[in-house]
């Protein structure tokens, strides 16, 4: 999709600069003249929202780091110093803490959108894998960020998660000591987590750059999952069409974000994290942040420690193989009647695992998490490969323009029908 730039530098200086570094032309071709399928729906605005969230987290995080100190005896007090004494410190911290959750809400919608419309299929496999890497880095960043206020959940969450590595045969214990920098989670752990928490977002930004590059190279998928056949008929220029839609969606998303920041800033957090870290008192229930809960449920559903750890990491790793596990040539669930149903079952299973991850690991909860964990893997390893072979897709329109016009005609024939 490159080479669509219609940018003509105006004026002497612009021409001089463009012939030496075609930077404006690059921006023009990727954010102005870049052709976007005309049938994109609002689910395609989450890429822009995620970019906004990354910037929001980096900017608020840099300001927080100016006032924070990573030193176990004072870190809790430093965060309270930000909340009480720094000008608008409470606002910046609540933006950053809730921003992490908003980032994950947006990324989950983005991932499920990709799954529903088959955005991972050829030629977008590399684009998808880069996305999985970003997701992994996001999880690592969020986990380490949660440790920094040095509350009870910070401390015990870090203890539980780092201890997972002790399940690795032979070298596990050594790895855990190396991660901690001592014989338990402590000040060295806090310091290295702060360092990495500052580093990883910039690595995310780098991979986001590759992700967008890959996207602009192969072009966007679309709700009909059909390739662009004619740029003139099937697409509209990024600016103003996608730009205005993205900005509108972003502002609506910011409203959702603001609801949390201003009115329920501690809703997504755990009250125990307002108790300073205490290595001698274990909280009644150690619960990770909500965005890790499905994987936490998978971890706890396996009775064996190593097995649980493998299942948990496997649940993320399996996503990277999705382009090859799904054998169907048809991308969009719109034209895959069976896959559409299994997609929704999978979505409910994922949410159900999240709920179970927040519940104590006892009785019916354990049985339910085992059933849902098995289903999670069956979906990827059995259902998706088999579906592609047995499913008969419905008739697809010849082009994006045809699909759009067919829907338009239906809407015109039956007034009041949803577009």
Partner 1 sequence: MIKRSILLGALAAVAIFAAPANAAEGTDRPHRESWSFAGPFGSFDQGQLQRGFKVFREVCASCHSANYFYFRNLAQPGGPGFSEAQAKVVASSYQVTDGPNDQGEMFQRPGRLSDHWPAPFPNEQAARVANGGAYPPDFSVLAKARSYHVGFPGFITDAFIQYQEHGVDYIHALLMGYVEPPAGTTVQPGLHYNTYFPGHQIAMPKPLSDGQVEYTDGAPQTVDQYSRDVSAFMMWLAEPHLDARKRIGFQVFIFLIVLSGLLYFTKKKIWKNIAH
Residues 84-113 that bind partner 1 (CB under 8 A): 84, 90-91, 94
- The answer to the question of residue 272 lying near partner 1 (CB under 8 A) is yes
Query: Closer to partner 1 at the Cβ: 16 or 267?
Result: 267
Query: Taking the complex as a whole, how short is the minimal distance between the CB of residue 365 and partner 1, in angstroms?
Result: 6
Work out the angle between the directed axes of helices 187-218 and 46-67 (0-180°, nearest 10): 150
**Would you give the binding string for partner 1 spanning residues 236-255, x where CB under 8 A is met?**
x---xx--xx-xx--xx-xx
Indicate which single residue of 7, 17, 313, 355 sits in contact with partner 1 (rule: CB under 8 A): 355
- The answer to the question of residue 178 lying near partner 1 (CB under 8 A) is no
- The answer to the question of residue 341 lying near partner 1 (CB under 8 A) is yes
Query: Closer to partner 1 at the Cβ: 8 or 271?
Result: 271
Check if the beta carbon of residue 360 is closer than 8 Å to that of residue 366. Answer: no
- The answer to the question of residue 182 lying near partner 1 (CB under 8 A) is no
- The answer to the question of residue 224 lying near partner 1 (CB under 8 A) is no
Q: Which residue is listed with tokens 């090859």?
A: 324
Query: Taking the complex as a whole, how short is the minimal distance between the CB of residue 190 and partner 1, in angstroms?
Result: 19
Residue of 141, 173, 130 whose CA lies nearest to 291: 141
- The answer to the question of residue 175 lying near partner 1 (CB under 8 A) is no
- The answer to the question of residue 398 lying near partner 1 (CB under 8 A) is no
Query: Taking the complex as a whole, how short is the minimal distance between the CB of residue 165 and partner 1, in angstroms?
Result: 30
- The answer to the question of residue 31 lying near partner 1 (CB under 8 A) is no
10 Å CB burial of residue 356 (0-12, 13-18, 19+) is buried
Phi-psi region of 170 (alpha: psi -120 to 50; beta: other; left: phi over 0): left
Query: Closer to partner 1 at the Cβ: 77 or 171?
Result: 77
Indicate which single residue of 52, 193, 292, 365 sits in contact with partner 1 (rule: CB under 8 A): 365
- The answer to the question of residue 42 lying near partner 1 (CB under 8 A) is no
3 state SS of 267:
coil
- The answer to the question of residue 38 lying near partner 1 (CB under 8 A) is yes
Identify the bridge partners of residue 35 per DSSP, sorted by sequence position: 237
Indicate which single residue of 258, 386, 398, 417 sits in contact with partner 1 (rule: CB under 8 A): 258
Residue of 248, 223, 243, 244 whose CA lies nearest to 234: 223
Query: Taking the complex as a whole, how short is the minimal distance between the CB of residue 340 and partner 1, in angstroms?
Result: 9
Sign of the CA dihedral running 17, 21, 25, 30: negative
Identify the bridge partners of residue 237 per DSSP, sorted by sequence position: 35
Query: Taking the complex as a whole, how short is the minimal distance between the CB of residue 262 and partner 1, in angstroms?
Result: 3
- Please count the other Cβ atoms lying within 10 Å of the Cβ belonging to residue 214: 18
Residue length of the chain: 419
Query: Closer to partner 1 at the Cβ: 189 or 235?
Result: 235
Choose one: 26-34, 213-221, 259-267, 308-316; the region binding partner 1 (CB under 8 A). Answer: 259-267
10 Å CB burial of residue 232 (0-12, 13-18, 19+) is exposed
Helices (DSSP H) in 148-275: which residue ranges?
A: 152-163, 172-180, 187-218, 231-234, 243-258
Q: Which residue is listed with tokens 């994987």?
A: 295
- The answer to the question of residue 415 lying near partner 1 (CB under 8 A) is no
- The answer to the question of residue 416 lying near partner 1 (CB under 8 A) is no
Query: Taking the complex as a whole, how short is the minimal distance between the CB of residue 133 and partner 1, in angstroms?
Result: 31
Distance CA 401, CA 229 (A): 9
Query: Taking the complex as a whole, how short is the minimal distance between the CB of residue 103 and partner 1, in angstroms?
Result: 18
Query: Closer to partner 1 at the Cβ: 76 or 180?
Result: 76
Sign of the CA dihedral running 23, 28, 34, 40: positive
- The answer to the question of residue 73 lying near partner 1 (CB under 8 A) is no
- Angle at alpha carbon of residue 276, lines to 273 and 280, rounded to 5°: 110
Choose one: 12-20, 122-130, 268-276, 385-393; the region binding partner 1 (CB under 8 A). Answer: 268-276
Check if the beta carbon of residue 237 is closer than 8 Å to that of residue 114. Answer: no
CA–CA distance from 117 to each of 242, 286, 318, 330 (Å)? 19, 36, 18, 9
Q: Which residues bind partner 1 (CB under 8 A)?
A: 38-40, 77, 80, 83-84, 90-91, 94, 236, 240-241, 244-245, 247-248, 251-252, 254-255, 258, 261-267, 271-272, 274-275, 284, 341, 344-345, 348, 351-352, 355-356, 359-360, 363-365, 368, 404-405, 408
């Amino acid at each position: 999709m490159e080479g669509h730039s219609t940018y003509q530098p105006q004026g002497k200086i612009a021409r001089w600069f463009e012939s030496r570094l075609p930077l404006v032309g690059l921006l023009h071709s990727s954010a102005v003249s870049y052709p976007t399928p005309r049938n994109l729906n609002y689910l395609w605005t989450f890429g822009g929202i995620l970019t906004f969230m990354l910037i929001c987290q980096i900017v608020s995080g840099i300001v927080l780091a100016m006032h924070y100190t990573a030193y176990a005896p004072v870190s809790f007090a430093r965060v309270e110093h930000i909340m009480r004494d720094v000008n608008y410190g409470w606002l910046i911290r609540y933006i950053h803490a809730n921003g992490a959750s908003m980032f994950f809400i947006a990324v989950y919608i983005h991932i499920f959108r990709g799954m529903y419309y088959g955005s991972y299929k050829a030629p977008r496999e590399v684009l998808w894998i880069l996305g999985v890497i970003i997701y992994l880095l996001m999880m690592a960043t969020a986990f380490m960020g949660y440790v920094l206020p040095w509350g009870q959940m910070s401390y015990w969450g870090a203890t539980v998660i780092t201890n997972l590595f002790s399940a690795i045969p032979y070298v596990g214990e050594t790895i855990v000591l190396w991660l901690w920098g001592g014989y338990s989670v402590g000040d060295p752990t806090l310091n290295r987590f702060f360092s990495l928490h500052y580093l990883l977002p910039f690595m995310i930004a780098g991979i986001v750059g590759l992700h967008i590059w890959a996207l602009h190279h192969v072009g966007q998928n679309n709700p009909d999952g059909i390739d662009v056949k004619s740029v003139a008929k099937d697409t509209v220029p990024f600016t103003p069409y996608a730009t205005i839609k993205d900005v509108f969606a972003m502002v609506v998303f910011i409203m959702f974000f603001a609801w949390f920041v201003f009115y329920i800033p501690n809703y997504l957090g755990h009250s125990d994290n307002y108790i300073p870290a205490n290595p001698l008192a274990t909280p009644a229930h150690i619960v990770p942040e909500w965005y890790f809960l499905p994987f936490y449920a998978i971890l706890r559903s396996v009775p064996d420690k190593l097995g649980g750890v493998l299942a948990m990491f496997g649940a993320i790793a399996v996503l990277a193989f999705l382009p090859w596990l799904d054998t169907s040539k048809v991308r969009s669930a719109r034209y895959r009647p069976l896959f559409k149903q299994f997609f929704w079952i999978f979505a409910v299973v994922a949410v159900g695992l999240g709920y179970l991850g927040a519940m104590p690991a006892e009785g019916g909860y354990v049985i339910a998490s085992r059933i849902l964990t098995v289903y999670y893997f069956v979906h990827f390893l059995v259902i998706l490969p088999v579906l592609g072979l047995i499913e008969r897709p419905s008739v697809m329109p010849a082009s994006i323009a045809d699909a759009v016009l067919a829907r338009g005609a239906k809407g015109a024939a039956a007034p009041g029908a949803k577009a």
